[in-house]
Amino acid sequence: MFYKKIFHKLKKFLVFCSLVIILFDIYDYYTFINKQPNKINAYRDIDGIIVFTGGENRVQSGIDLISNNIGKRLFISGVNPDTNIFDISEQILSDKDLLICCIDLGKRADNTIENAIESIDWIKNNNYKNIIIVTSNYHMKRSLFILRNFDSSINFVPHNVQSKFLQNKNITIYGKMKTIVSEYVKLTYTRLYFLIEKRIN
């Protein structure tokens, strides 16, 4: 009987500790997504820029960086296979010469892990070491986690793109929290996936 009481209290304590850890982790994630992107003049010794498509203003933010002589080349990952460089030019009204000389399109990715795989290939093909990652603020933490697990020798520098959806005052708190929680669940799943994979291998 005594041991059952001890076990029951220990179980409650472990559940409490787990909840505290989860809450702190959620707070850390929420704080992270509210960070403002670095100013352009803050970047030093950047080799390349990678944009993960899928959210508003991501491609434009990458173009703005390369247009300001940040990095040598820009890689846009997750582009529709039917899209070419001139389609990108029409969409963002950018300098066609810049697009032709300094921008590469990745068309093999349909999700974040595939984004990371084709991005790592591009980095290695160019022998780059210092890379800016451009994606939405709520998507950045998972993107960096995956990239760093694939290759920890590369220096990945985040450039958060503020989500218009999360900033839209017409969207309810419920709608915004649904997006944040959904991405946090994906981040947690990704952490577990890589943890299990490392254990197996």
Which one is predicted more confidently, 33 or 117?
117
pLDDT digits (tens, 9 = 90+) for 157-181: 999 998 877 777 778 878 878 888 8
pTM score over 0.75: yes
CATH number at residue 101: 3.40.50.620
Q: Domain for residue 22, yes or no? A: no
Find the domain containing 73 and state its range: 38-164
CA angle 64, 67, 71 (to 5 degrees): 95
Is 49 inside any structural domain? yes
Q: Extract the runs of DSSP E, i.e. beta strands, from the chain.
A: 48-52, 73-77, 103-106, 130-136, 155-161
Per the structure, the count of domains in the chain is 1
- Residue 169 inside a domain? The answer is no
- Decide if 115 is inside a domain: yes
Q: Is residue 14 part of a domain?
A: no
For the chain, the farthest-separated pair of C-alpha atoms sits apart, in whole angstroms, at 79
Residue 121: inside a domain: yes
For residue 4, being part of any structural domain is answered with no
